[in-house]
Amino acid sequence: MMPPVVTQQSKVSAPPQTEEDPIEAHMTMVLAEMKDTKAGLEHNVDIEALDVALLHSDHKKLAAKGVETEKSLAMVLLW
**Whole-number pLDDT of residue 19:** 65
Q: How far is CA 8 from the centre of its chain?
A: 38
pLDDT at 20 over 60: yes
The predicted pLDDT at position 16 comes to 54
| 63 vs 49, higher pLDDT | 49
Q: What angle do CA 52, 75, 79 make, to 5 degrees?
A: 75
Res 27 pLDDT > 70:
yes
d(CA 57, CA 29): 16
Distance CA 19, CA 7 (A): 36
State yes or no: pLDDT of 30 exceeds 70.
Answer: yes
The pLDDT assigned to 21 comes to 72
